[in-house]
Amino acid sequence: MERKNLNKSPLYYYVSGNEQGECMMFLHAAFADHTMFDRQAEYFKKKYKIITIDLIGHGRSVHTKKGDSINKMAEWIQQIINQEQVEKVHLIGVSLGSVIIQDFANKYPDLVASMACFGGYDVNNFDPNMQKGNSKEQGLMMLRAIFSVKWFAENNKKISAYTKEAQEEFYQMNIRFPKKSFMYLASLNGMVNKYKTKKRNYDLLIGCGKKDIPMELEAVNMWHSSEPTSRVIIFEGAGHLVNMDVPVEFNQMIDKFLRKEL
C-alpha cells in the first residue's frame, strides 16, 4: 500500500491493488481512518485498484489551513481521481463516508461507476425531524469528547459496532481522533437537502446493520421508497459499522453488487 498526499490539501490517501483494474474508493465513518477498510482492501486487491482516504480531521489528514473544510471533500476526491488517472470510481461509504460520496456524486456524477452507502441517509431527501435528531446526537457526542476522550470512545464503540472485535478496533481509532477535528463535522449539514436527485446512470446499493438504531433502518427504507431501483441489504449480526462487524458477508455482497448479481 502506497501512502500519498494530495497537493495543496491536508488529505492523505492510500493506493493498493491492481493498477490495471477498475477503481474502488472507500470512505470511512467519523472518528475512524482509512484502516477501517483493511479487510476490504485485502479482499478486492487482485481485481481492483483500491483507494482509501483519511478524511479531513482524521488519520494523517489533520494538517489543515484556513479555509479547509469537509465541504471541500468532493473537490479533493475529484483531484485524487485525476491524479490517479482514473476514469470512474466505484464508491463505497460507511456512515460519514456515505454522506460524502453522495455529495461527490451530486457534483461529479459522470465520475461515478457505482455507489454503495451504508449506515447513512439520503442527503437529497433527509427528513427534517431525522436531521434534527441526528444533529442533537452529534452535539451530545461532542460534549462527551470534550469531557473525556476515553469516555466518549467507550460509549461510541458500543453505539457504533456490534461485535466485540469491531468495538475494540473502533475504540482505538476513536482514541486517536483529535478533539479539534470536531469542528469539521459541524458543517456537515451544508451537504444536506442541497440538491435534487437526478436520474442515476449508475447502480445504487444502500443498507445498514440489523442491530443499528431504529432511525437508521427507517432512513434506509425511506431512501429505497424514493429510489425503488436501488438495491438494499440489511446485514444480520451487524450494527452501524457493517464492514467491521461482518467483513466476510460485507465483502461478498459488495462483490455481487459490482458483478451485478444482486
Protein fold of 2-258: Rossmann fold (3.40.50)
pLDDT over threshold 90, residue 238: yes
Least reliable range by pLDDT among 10-24, 98-112, 133-147: 133-147
| Model confidence, pTM | 0.94
Joined grid coordinates for residue 145: 469528547
Each residue's pLDDT tens digit, 6-56: 999 999 999 999 999 999 999 999 999 999 999 999 999 999 999 999 999
Residue 131 is predicted with a pLDDT of: 60
- In the predicted model, what is the mean pLDDT of residues 191-215? 95
Closest CA to 149 of 139, 159, 141: 141
**With the CA atoms of 177, 247, 242 and 182 taken in that order, what torsion angle do they form, in degrees rounded to the nearest 10?**
10
Closest CA to 97 of 79, 78, 129, 123: 123
Each residue's pLDDT tens digit, 54-104: 999 999 999 999 999 999 999 999 999 999 999 999 999 999 999 999 999
Cβ-contact 171, 149 below 8 angstroms: no
Residue 139 is predicted with a pLDDT of: 60
Q: What are 26's strand-pairing partners?
A: 52, 92
Residue 189 is predicted with a pLDDT of: 83
Higher-confidence residue of 206 and 146: namely 206
Q: What are 233's strand-pairing partners?
A: 207
Identify the H or E element spanning 3. strand 2-5
pLDDT grade for 190, boundaries at 50, 70 and 90 = confident
pLDDT over threshold 70, residue 215: yes
Cβ-contact 179, 145 below 8 angstroms: yes
- Tell me the three state secondary structure of residue 46: coil
Q: What is the largest CA-CA distance in the chain?
A: 48
Joined grid coordinates for residue 152: 466518549
Closest CA to 91 of 125, 60, 58, 51: 51
What's the whole-number average pLDDT of the chain?
94
Amino acid at 175: I
